[in-house]
Structure 1
Amino acid sequence: MEYEYLSRKSAADFCKVSIRTIDRWIVDGRIDSFKPDGCSRVLIIKDSLSRENLSSPKPKY
């Protein structure tokens, strides 16, 4: 299965929230993200940005 990845800024634009909110959601485990090897950039899996996932008490990936 191939995933589509977004940067933190693109994810913030997609959800119409600030980058700080995206950072909070990452820390809370609400969205699925990772850092590629040897890179400081954070990539977010677009499928984890569903409305159901962000509003539910227990996120589903």
Structure 2
Amino acid sequence: MPVTSLRKPYARPPEVAIRVAWAIARLEAKAKAKAKAKAKAKAKAKAKAKAEAGLLGERSP
């Protein structure tokens, strides 16, 4: 009887699963940072537009 691994041939080894988990975590963190930067830029643009509208309103007679 041949000696074989107890692991099923289609199962991922633990080191691959850990690597995949880290890759997913890195991608999620990158997406979260991108969304945060986009929200910050949008808020900044909105504040700038509001400030400009306020300045234009003060100058009008």
TM-score of the aligned structures, taking structure 2 as reference length: 0.20
Using CA pairs below 8 Å that are at least 6 residues apart, which structure has the higher relative contact order?
A: 1
Q: Hey, which of these two has a bigger chunk of helix by percent?
A: 2
Bigger Rg, which one: 2
TM-score of the aligned structures, taking structure 1 as reference length: 0.20
Q: Hey, which of these two has a bigger chunk of strand by percent?
A: 1
